[in-house]
Structure 1
Amino acid sequence: MRLIRLGPEPSAVGADVRAALSTWGNGDAVLGGVALLGVRPPDCPRDLDAVIVLPRGVLVVVGVDLPDPAMRLEAPLNGQWKIDGWPLTRPDGATSPAAEALEATTAVARRIQDMRGEPLPVTTVVAVGPYVGQVVQPTVDLNRGVRVLHPKPTTLLAAARELGTSDRPCSAAHAAKLLAVLAPTGSPPERARLIAEGFSDAAADLASASTMLLPKVTPPKPGRRLLPYVAGLIVAVLLIIALILSLSSGDTADSSPSTTPTPQPTTVVVDGRNFAQRGSDRTDDCAPHTFGDVRAWLSTHLCMQLRRAQYETTVDGRKAGVAIAELSLPDATRAGELHALASAPGTGGVSALVQEGKAWPGGPSTFDRSAIRVSVKGALVRITQVVWAEGEQDPADPKLAQVTEQALRLPAAQQ
């Protein structure tokens, strides 16, 4: 278990959670995985003591500080908590602290789904302290994937093993995306370290899977040797019948209207201006298609996807080319960082498709000295460039600037 501390524990019992996790040590000898400590994932309603990303599941750990140590804690999800027979009272009037934990777990699961992370089961651990000798939970709550426990190394380990139930292990590449989606700052561990923590090597998995899927060949029994000949005869009869039917209906086939797929539109209209698409591309490997400081930044930060598109339009009888690049980042914080970097002069950017051998007849050969607009919306950073197809270029040309504004509404990839 690799620990990454991103902030202080929001509860006193969070220190016990961290101590329990640290006893397992790095690597997968005990369990494996990566624990984000003191983290608040984007859109989560509260700080979390830990989010544990395991090869087969994600655990959301929420700490609850009890007023006193307890020998017995009755902890139903939807009922009154009781400490040694006495109702637990809280200043906010809540009878069950588990409701807050479930709300946080729901937010984490929604975040993973919205960012298209690996669909691992997301479950809840409510860590209670300063000390609890015995916790009583209804069976229905246990079946919902919720554990209320005092975070000793053994109890937390048992819960992690019970709740990590995915049918297949998460790969190191998917684990890196999950961690980037959940952590608002920093970068995920390197791939080799994630593999050391028990996340699978996708290449090795594919190799073993292809071997396992090879069908087992058994010699045919004597009684089955005639089956291929019988099957061949049946196929021949069916072909003759199909030929007769096609010949008999040939006269009417020509008169029936043909159904051909409707071609997808290749022109987009914005404010009355036509933009003809001249190619698009998408990739999950963003950095190789960038340059300058932008490339250096992307080499150390996760980028979910890069989408690029090219368009051609006409302004007062003169052709202009448009290049669009849209980078999908894990969250708005990192998108803001990249936006600030890419907006500064001389910091590089994203290579246009024409610079990778995808020019079109009559279009520009380069997007150097283009009018540029860098914008950000949520976790998306968009770089729009416009140049004249021929002639001198002026980045401050007001006509190009107007096209740049209109191009903000163009799709970054063909649907």
Structure 2
Amino acid sequence: MSFPESSSGRRATPTFPPRPLDDSRTPSLILSALPDVLPESLRREEPTPPPRRTGPSRPAIIKIVAAVVLVATLVGLGVWALTDSEPAPPAPVAQHEFTFTRAAEPAAAVLDSDCADHAYGQTKRFLATTACQQLTRALFTTTLSDGRVAYSSVAVVRMRSDADATALFELVRKDNTGSIADIVRDRAATAPGLDRLSKGGFAADKHGNDVVIVESDTATKDSDPEAHRNELKRVSRDALRLGRDLK
């Protein structure tokens, strides 16, 4: 910086503008210079807090996984037990004591709508006031263990209601109440050496509105009347199944 010289050849003393008076009404402004580079502590970004967990906690997850594994294990054991165990035994098949053959005559079942006309005793009187829908009868044969031929008359009485069928079923099972005339007695079929089958064995059953009545006998009787009757009862009981498909 250069200073002007005075007329006497000396350098002139520099002059400055007057200093402004301090005025309390004008506060002093103090400026602090900031460094060009902020300190490391100020430049370091605040770490972002980790997101809050909204799902189950770790112990809960462990329990869920354990439960899933347990269920899968139990299911696996169940499947193994079903596939590895021995197969269930087949259901028992009903065994029949006698083998029956449809008699040659009549070739078809005998059908009637007037059941009272083919009955006797109290059964006839019952059917006269409580009409049936249809009577179906047929003749079958079977061979006994000693070679004798037994004849079985199978009659199916279809009543109009279950109550009527129950009443008829209870009536024919009692002694001395009559029954439906067997097909030989009614002369709708023939059995050599027999004029009726009611002196042998009797059996009855009920299926809904149907009452099945079977009477069986042989031309040659057993020497023991009671043994003969019991054997023919077995024949009649076994022949009850034939009534379900009688046509």
Partner residue in 1 for 2:229:
397
Query: What is the DSSP-based 3-state SS (H/G/I as helix, E as strand, rest coil) of the residue aligned with 2:170?
Result: helix
Answer whether contact 1:321 1:364 (CA < 8 A) is retained: no
Question: CA 1:390–1:297 in 2, change beyond 3 Å: closer, same or farther?
Answer: same
CA distance in 2, matches of 1:284, 1:395: 37
Partner residue in 2 for 1:375:
205
Alignment of 1:291 with 2:123, yes or no, is no
Q: Deviations over 1:238-288 (max 9, x none)?
A: xxxxxxxxxxxxxxxxxxxxxxxxxxxxxxxx8373312223311111110
Answer whether contact 1:308 1:326 (CA < 8 A) is retained: yes
1:110-121 superposed matches below 5 A = none
Query: What is the DSSP-based 3-state SS (H/G/I as helix, E as strand, rest coil) of the residue aligned with 1:313?
Result: strand
Partner residue in 2 for 1:362:
192
CA distance in 1, matches of 2:154, 2:116: 16
CA distance in 2, matches of 1:394, 1:369: 12
Question: CA 1:361–1:401 in 2, change beyond 3 Å: closer, same or farther?
Answer: closer
Percent of paired sites with the same residue: 25
Partner residue in 1 for 2:241:
409
Partner residue in 1 for 2:74:
none
Answer whether contact 1:308 1:412 (CA < 8 A) is retained: no
Query: What is the DSSP-based 3-state SS (H/G/I as helix, E as strand, rest coil) of the residue aligned with 2:221?
Result: coil
RMSD across aligned positions (CA): 2.3
Question: CA 1:326–1:283 in 2, change beyond 3 Å: closer, same or farther?
Answer: same
CA distance in 2, matches of 1:407, 1:274: 9
Matched letter for residue 102 of structure 2: Q
Answer whether contact 2:201 2:234 (CA < 8 A) is retained: no
Unaligned runs of at least 5 residues, structure 1: 1-269
Alignment of 1:301 with 2:115, yes or no, is no
Answer whether contact 2:100 2:142 (CA < 8 A) is retained: yes
Partner residue in 2 for 1:282:
111
Q: Pick the structure with greater CA Rg.
A: 2
CA distance in 2, matches of 1:305, 1:311: 20
- The alpha-carbon deviation at position 328 of structure 1 amounts to 0.5
Match of 2:181 among 343, 351, 354: 351
**Aligned residue pair count:** 146
Partner residue in 1 for 2:143:
314
Partner residue in 1 for 2:90:
none
Answer whether contact 1:323 1:384 (CA < 8 A) is retained: yes
CA distance in 2, matches of 1:348, 1:397: 18
- The alpha-carbon deviation at position 362 of structure 1 amounts to 3.3
Higher normalized contact order (CA 8 Å, seq sep 6+, divided by chain length): 2
1:56-71 superposed matches below 5 A = none
Q: Deviations over 1:142-199 (max 9, x none)?
A: xxxxxxxxxxxxxxxxxxxxxxxxxxxxxxxxxxxxxxxxxxxxxxxxxxxxxxxxxx
Structure 1 stretches of 4+ moved >2 Å: 270-274, 356-365, 389-399, 411-415
CA distance in 1, matches of 2:121, 2:100: 29
Query: What is the DSSP-based 3-state SS (H/G/I as helix, E as strand, rest coil) of the residue aligned with 1:274?
Result: coil
Matched letter for residue 128 of structure 2: S
Answer whether contact 2:114 2:131 (CA < 8 A) is retained: no
Partner residue in 1 for 2:167:
337
Question: CA 1:413–1:389 in 2, change beyond 3 Å: closer, same or farther?
Answer: farther
Query: What is the DSSP-based 3-state SS (H/G/I as helix, E as strand, rest coil) of the residue aligned with 1:372?
Result: strand
Matched letter for residue 404 of structure 1: S
